[in-house]
A = this chain, B = another copy of it.
Amino acid sequence: MTKIILAAAAALVSLGTVTQADELPTAAYLPVAKAVEAANAAVESCKAKGFAVTTAIVARSGETSVLIHGDGAGPHTNGSATGKAFTSASMGRPSGALAGGIASNPPLAGLRDMDPRLVILAGGLPIRINGQLVGGIGVGGAPSGDIDAECAIEGLKAIGAEVPE
């Protein structure tokens, strides 16, 4: 759909003289209201299971959009949630899948050093809506990364984002 819009824009551009602006491409982003909604849903989902977690939403550009530190979650969870969310937002894949990939292919260990904001560990998922990657959600604090990821899925569902298989 982005293509359609861009085509329309290109058509318009031919009519003007200052043509730079019309040529500017655009990217979709997740509005903060939805980010808060997703983060809250993930925190509540884990709380319902009996786990205190922190959830972060990171935009595709890498900046943190929302952080919610659930009551009783440890101080390391701000870093783990944000890092997992960054990983999925930037690499476009579940952070747990990346962790598994490194474990089975040791020369990939350097992936962990690419950017200090990365935390390659289960619990982070990309946020895609209608196929557009607009960020990542990360959860930290449950007894396992798989449970963290389950709560992250609830966050995705709350805003109608795609759930990775």
User: Which residues of A does B touch, CB under 8 Å?
Assistant: 1-3, 5-6, 8-9, 12-13, 18-34, 36-37, 40, 43-44, 59-71, 74-80, 83, 86-87, 89-92, 95-96, 99-100, 102-103, 106-122, 129-132, 134, 140, 145, 159-161
Contacts and interface: CB of A to CB of B under 8 A. Distances in A.
A28 B13 CA distance: 15
A122 to B, nearest CB: 7
Contact of A140 (B68, B103, B114, B116): B114
Contacts of A63: 61-62, 69, 75, 78
Given A1-B22, A107-B100, A129-B24, A79 B115 contact: yes
A23 B9 CA distance: 18
A76 to B, nearest CB: 4
17 contacts: A5-B9, A6-B26, A26-B28, A36-B68, A60-B74, A61-B61, A61-B75, A64-B78, A74-B89, A76-B91, A76-B114, A79-B115, A80-B115, A96-B107, A99-B107, A103-B109, A108-B145
